Amino acid sequence: RVDRRQRQMCIRDRFMNHNYSFSEFSRQSSKGVLVIYGDILLKIVKQTWVLFFLFVSRISEISEVQSTYIYIGVFVVFMFSLGRAYFSYRNFKFKIVDHHFVLKKGIIKKTNTSIAFDRIQNINFKQNLIQQFINVYGVSIETAGSNKTEIVIKALSHSKALALKELISSVAVSSETSQEQQKPLLKIKIGELLKVSLTENHFRSLLVLIALLIGFFQQIEHVLEGLGRKEFLDDYLNQSTEAVLGSILLIVVLFLGVVIVSIFSSFIRVFLRHFNLVLFVKKEAFEINQGLLTKKSVVLKKQKVQSITVSSNPFKRWVGISYVVFKQAMSGKMKNKKDKVIKIVGCEHDQINLIKNHLFDSDQLDASQKHYTDSYYKTRILFLTSIILLVINSSIFLIFDILYVLYITLLLLPLCYFLIHKKIKKTFYKISTNLLLVGKGLVDTHHTYFQLFKVQNVTMKQTIFQQRRNVVDLILQTASGKIRIPCMPSKNATEIYNHILFNVETSKQSWM
């Protein structure tokens, strides 16, 4: 009763710190109609853009009467969308009562949602171009048990959004200027973003670029085919292909051009997403602000963080940066679990230590011994790799009767052995009284830190081949997913198993 009374007094005090009372149902800003209308039109465009190209390609075959009907249909869709946006705005109401966020929404199918503050994992504040233009903020509230964002508010004024943030997350923010005067824990500048973009996976950007070009040429081909000029495109492509293949210099220039474009696209993507990345430390939460065209602000409760992973690759280590991933509890039914992953890029070693020390005492791992997997793990990987290479080479030889592929495989064997050796060296664990560090990786290196009392269950698995070597796989289930330590000696696995169960049973700390 005393705790509940104190919470109610705290809520009442927060109500008095701003001019907004959330105890009664209130609506979004009236500008929210424009935001909702824009979202509806954007979804329509994404689903019907192919029809636009089809209309352009067949425009010469469409009669004047048919064109009139098409324009009328487009006008009706626009007006229907506007009406839907208005009624969505009118029926969207929310309030805060008894430490719960209550939401009513819906036009025909109406829903009533109530979420306790204790279930909230993080609060996201976002401003896309439309929201920046009309000076409103979008707010989304996420919980652990749902496979999607449960609360999405399209448009709130700046002061009302800050008041809602303070009330829900217990993060005291009075104004934007006060936040600017507060010293951030870390701030990623443009120089660090340039390092991040240069050390990204440019092969992925290259594949995306190629896919976009193929899709673009297919659409151009359909349009020119509708206009009766498809032969013009075929002749142009044939001439360009012959000219490129006939000159080594052009091939080199084209290759360098594609590489430069992929690097530039990586920089643009990193710059737009992580521009002005700043991490503030509040009483019980982190606040992460970033973005250029779409500004995002995430309030992440420290208590809800299940684990953090520090990752890098050889290029990132060379320039002295890594990135940190915060992992939270998530639903197993979520299709895209990356939606709930919060990442801070371009962190230096000292900045990573600051983040770890605000979540747990990471220094206790310094005195712990680093344990590697049993040699059986390397034998198993070498055996599986040999089987895969044998199957691939045998299939190629039997189908295509190409013998020189075997010589290529002989050249790849040293590379495979080198990568396996690196994987074995990166697979380790360190355990202390309350913390566990698990390392893994092949080209990239990933170090995962988590507190032992947040483990939900522990499983030891052993195959018939592992029984002969007396090794087991230790699997730790957390609210954010599984963490596997392969091929541990059975004695060590049993000790860790008992140690984790002791921590879980005796700890009084809350992890949700």
Q: For residue 183, what pLDDT is reported?
A: 81
Q: For residue 411, what pLDDT is reported?
A: 76
Q: Taking a C-beta distance cutoff of 8 angstroms, is the pair 369, 429 a contact? A: no
d(CA 184, CA 267): 24
C-alpha distances out from residue 373 to 275, 330, 443, 485, Å: 40, 29, 18, 8
Helix (H) or strand (E) holding 221: helix 202-227
Token pair, residue 129, equals 């171009």
pLDDT tens for 253-305 read 777 877 788 788 888 888 999 999 999 988 788 899 999 888 898 888 888 88
Global pTM reads: 0.80
Longest pairwise C-alpha distance within the chain: 84
Residue 248 or residue 300, greater confidence = 300
Residue 263, judged by CB atoms within 10 A of its CB (0-12, 13-18, 19+), counts as middle
Mean pLDDT computed over 436-447: 93
- Please count the CA atoms within 13 angstroms of the CA of 76 that sit on its side-chain side: 6
Residues recorded for the chain: 512
Give the Cβ contact number of residue 62 at 10 Å: 12
Q: For residue 174, what pLDDT is reported?
A: 40
Q: For residue 13, what pLDDT is reported?
A: 47
Residue 227 or residue 357, greater confidence = 357
d(CA 102, CA 92): 11
Residue 182 or residue 83, greater confidence = 83
d(CA 176, CA 187): 17
Pairing of β 111-116 and β 93-97: unpaired
Mean pLDDT computed over 407-422: 83
pLDDT tens for 398-408 read 776 666 667 77
List of residues 6+ apart from 466 with CB closer than 8 A? 376, 472, 473, 487
Q: For residue 460, what pLDDT is reported?
A: 93
What's 302's DSSP letter? Answer: G
Q: For residue 170, what pLDDT is reported?
A: 60
Give the Cβ contact number of residue 411 at 10 Å: 8
pLDDT tens for 169-224 read 665 444 444 444 468 889 998 888 999 988 887 777 677 777 777 766 666 666 66
Q: For residue 398, what pLDDT is reported?
A: 75
Residue 196, judged by CB atoms within 10 A of its CB (0-12, 13-18, 19+), counts as buried
Q: For residue 11, what pLDDT is reported?
A: 47
Res. 32 pLDDT band, cuts 50 70 90: confident
Indicate whether 347 pLDDT > 90: yes
Indicate whether 76 pLDDT > 60: yes
Residue 280 or residue 144, greater confidence = 280
